[in-house]
Structure 1
Amino acid sequence: MRDAFGAEFDVPQGYLNTPSIGIPPGVAADAVAAGVDRWRRGADTPDDFDEAVALSRQGYADLIGVPIGRVAVGTAVSQLLAPVAAGLPDGAKVLVAEGEFTSTTFPFAAQAHRGVTVTEVHLAELPAALPGHDVAAVSVVQSADGARVDLDALREARERSGVPVVLDVTQAAGWTPLRLDWADWVVAAGYKWLLSPRGAAWMAVHPRALERVIPVNAGWYAGEEPMQTVYGMPLRLAKGSRRLDLAPVWLAHLGAAAALPYLASLDLAAVHSHCAALADTLLTRLGLPARGSAIVALDADADGLAAAGVTASTRAGKARLGFHLYNTVDDVERVLDALRPRRTRPCR
């Protein structure tokens, strides 16, 4: 058990796989366990989960710096982006980063039958490449190697060109401060850095972008009063971003209702400093340049690291490691011990 930033985490030593699965604070895990116990006894009704969904929605809004009224709930990034992709005009041109996580790109690529095209550019070139496109979609922090998009440059390019922007903050929200009220769509899955169960995801929609989407997943929960839209026609959706709501995965939101408000209550500048400092300590101890990201990709064997008690993952042919608020310098030392005497290079 580790104490970190005012919470307890049952995280094993050497666990550096948060970019794949985050370890919940004890209160979040306990909330899910209590929900499972009530489920097995038939002790809940659908209305009993409304508070948890509202708390997770507010927590996400606070973490990315937007009003709660902009936030829709769903289950996965690709599911939430499907209405955005469906709303593109025929023949639309989509700009993405090379090697982008496919949950961010495939919803747009799947519109090829309508003449929609997807163009990949190097991450550093993406802001300058906005003009001439109908939308740009990019992760704030890249899943494969922790590279970060230049948000200031992207915002300026969006303002100059008028090209709407999709931001995926799945690998950024929870460990770095974000103020993204300027972006058109901001989406995230909760089971990584947001320390929630898989099955909870959120998307903030700027008011100017709401009419650009087609609610292809519309169901009863997308109504203004969900319990009043469970039967019969006509179509009657909520006026704001809630028209994109998918019926929530209840147990997932029980955990998210504890985890997201906890993260949003923290000094995220301090969390960012903690996480990036651990990652940069690892890099500099290996004779490599610091990068200021919580995610590190190394020319190393993840299976070999596992044999030394380090839990990581293999992505794009590299060993990917992530340092969250519950990690310590002991985890850095464990990686260094596993790598000696060889030297590694970071993923470029």
Structure 2
Amino acid sequence: MRIPSSYLVQFHEPEGYLDFARFGPPAHAVVDASTRLLETSAAAGPSTVDDLMRQDLRARAAAARLCRGDTDHVALLPNTSTGLFQVALAVRGGVLVSAGEFPANTYPWVRAPGAEVSWLPAGPVTPEAVRAALTPGIDAVSVSAVDFRTGYRADLAALREAVGDRLLVVDGIQGFGVVDEPWEAADVLVVGGQKWLRAGWSTGFLLLSDRALERLDPVLSGWTGAEDAGLFDDAVHPVGEGAAGWSITNLSPIAAGALATALELVELAGVPALERRVAERVDELAEAVRAAGGEVVSATDRRAGILAFTLPDRPAPVVGAALAAAGVTATVRPEHVRLSPHASTTPGTVDRFAAALRELVAPAPRRTGAAPVTHDVLAALVPTVNGLAEALGPGTEVVLHDLGALPNSIVAIAGDLTGRQVGGPMTDLLLGLVRRGTTQDLAGYETYAPDGRAIRSSTVFLRDADGVAVGCLCVNSDPGAGVPPDRAVNAVEAFPGDVDTLQRLLVERAVDAVGVPVELMKKSHKSQVVRVLDEAGLFLIRDSVDYLAGVLGVTRYTIYNYLNEIRG
């Protein structure tokens, strides 16, 4: 079962984004719907409010379809916590919950005056653990469909059997929309829309079974949850029928429209297809972790879209910082790093993650040294690099590039402002200049080191007897409190530590410049990517044609054809 392109085209989160268990960037259609509804509200007329409020029914109907339930059993909520607090206040008796749950599923039970909390032991909430902990005084069991730390996927059908006639309360935020669960097994299902549903903040819903509606009286039931809510006769009306009685007030119709749009997109793709794609990405990420010598510490059997891992001898914060520096977004906890891909996560994101891990576990690079050069002019300068750096003082880096050794052009380096080593590539800025033949010296321009520090750079091209550029000498320094750089030359460049990183950076930038996802590109788009990369100097890098062909999903001969047309 394939995911329709009409679904995938709705998303364009940055490559490297692997944090959907924390927040899911909304779909283009969600943003458009929210904007349209907000604009409608700005042009208010006689029917505006009534028209906007119809979004409530649309959202509830979509939620009911995905839950295989009834619309009148669904109420809209601004978040998961609100729904869990409502239920906790309505329960009168014992509730069984794991202390390891996300706090949104523990605080309501502790704070509610009528609930008596019994705690499950640490570990997955399994039917066996629940069955062993049940006592006659327990009236409800509360559990997350997917554990936020480990990605363990609760067996809702088996839990339903284990709890018997008691109420089963399920926090579905970490799985709804991307795991195909028997949601009808829950008596109460509470879902927030800002994560896997990608509906944005202040969206969510509550679904109640017949058993829950019969046994629970909503304590927090506002005027919109009363019978004849639109009748203002100075009387307090009885609680309304069904889930409508749990309404406190109207959810923003803009939020309701966003939620409805997001739910309908899930229906378009189909939950089984989304689940399958997420599982494939999790497998690929797990393979990258193991290839780097790491350990997957999250669930491997009953799992959803969450993968947690550790690397030996490297604390999670260190791993997280390295990933962030490589453009990978993840959740970093003291004990592990958590990844959570979605169906729109690209192979390029997996590759970026894998490359970041490889670089992190690689042996520490040598910061100074020299390598064979291709010209006597450069050979004469190699011994002076260390001395020049010492003469210029602390916070200075001197780099000598050999243009005849592209792409591994660094033949000598002293200092560590940019963390590079001998054998590394030149920057994207210099590579583009060389490709275009613009070998003019650059003096005192501002750029940024990989750690974000502003640095002052100067580049002098070195020439042979015929005036042909054969290399360049670059001086980078941290101006600190000294004289600021000359901002007349506004050049910002990247300082990749290896050729693979430089290659990936150039291709990502070119694809972003075209503005069309690779899977939707036509010939004209792909030709434009090749044109941008030709000007950037990508094809000065050995095997770059094969790499780009893999990214664009074409043959290497197609890339050569594009180049012939462009250079024709």
Q: Same fold (TM over 0.5)?
A: yes
Q: Counterparts of 1:124-203 in structure 2 under 5 Å?
A: 124-125=125-126, 126-129=129-132, 131-132=134-135, 133-159=138-164, 162-203=165-206
Give the equivalent residue in structure 1 for 2:306.
295
Change (3 A) 1:4 1:20: farther
Q: C-alpha separation between the residues in 1 aligned to 2:266 and 2:228?
A: 29
Name the SS for the 2:106 alignment partner: helix
The structure, 1 or 2, with the larger RCO (C-alpha pairs under 8 Å, 6+ apart) is 1
1:102 aligns with 2:103: yes
Change (3 A) 1:284 1:10: closer
Q: Counterparts of 1:330-341 in structure 2 under 5 Å?
A: 330-341=348-359
- Aligned-partner residue type, residue 248 of structure 1: L
1:8 aligns with 2:10: yes
Q: Counterparts of 1:63-82 in structure 2 under 5 Å?
A: 63-82=66-85
Change (3 A) 1:129 1:251: farther
Shift of 1:100: 0.5
Name the SS for the 1:325 alignment partner: coil
Shift of 1:93: 2.5
Q: C-alpha separation between the residues in 1 aligned to 2:234 and 2:222?
A: 11
Rg bigger for which structure?
A: 2
Size of the aligned set, in residue pairs, is 336
1:63/1:177 contact within 8 Å kept: no
1:322 aligns with 2:323: no
Deviations 1:160-194 (A, max 9, x none): xx221101110101111122223210110011111
Deviations 1:324-343 (A, max 9, x none): 12112221111111112557
Pick aligned residue for 2:245 from 237, 243, 246: 243
Shift of 1:140: 0.6
Q: C-alpha separation between the residues in 2 aligned to 1:83 and 1:107?
A: 8
Alignment gaps of 5+ in structure 1: 344-348
1:143/1:171 contact within 8 Å kept: yes
Pick aligned residue for 1:309 from 313, 327, 333: 327
- Aligned-partner residue type, residue 23 of structure 2: I
Q: C-alpha separation between the residues in 2 aligned to 1:180 and 1:276?
A: 20
Pick aligned residue for 2:48 from 41, 45, 48: 45
- Aligned-partner residue type, residue 294 of structure 1: G
- Aligned-partner residue type, residue 310 of structure 1: V
Give the equivalent residue in structure 2 for 1:346.
none
Q: C-alpha separation between the residues in 1 aligned to 2:84 and 2:13?
A: 32
1:64/1:173 contact within 8 Å kept: no
Give the equivalent residue in structure 2 for 1:119.
119
| Identity between Structure 1 and Structure 2 (%) | 28
Name the SS for the 2:13 alignment partner: coil
Deviations 1:18-69 (A, max 9, x none): 1111122211110111223233444573312232111111221122222222
- Aligned-partner residue type, residue 346 of structure 2: T
- Aligned-partner residue type, residue 105 of structure 1: T
Give the equivalent residue in structure 1 for 2:271.
268
Q: C-alpha separation between the residues in 2 aligned to 1:163 and 1:6?
A: 41
Shift of 1:244: 0.5
2:330/2:339 contact within 8 Å kept: yes
Name the SS for the 2:142 alignment partner: strand
Q: C-alpha separation between the residues in 1 aligned to 2:198 and 2:117?
A: 35
Give the equivalent residue in structure 1 for 2:419.
none
- Aligned-partner residue type, residue 157 of structure 1: A
- Aligned-partner residue type, residue 94 of structure 2: K
Shift of 1:3: 5.4
Q: C-alpha separation between the residues in 2 aligned to 1:114 and 1:227?
A: 32
Shift of 1:14: 0.9
TM-score by length of 1: 0.88
Which of 137-146 and 63-72 deviates more? 63-72
Shift of 1:231: 5.8
Alignment gaps of 5+ in structure 2: 311-315, 362-568
Deviations 1:90-131 (A, max 9, x none): xx32211242011112111112x5572241323244432352
CA RMSD of aligned residues (A): 2.3
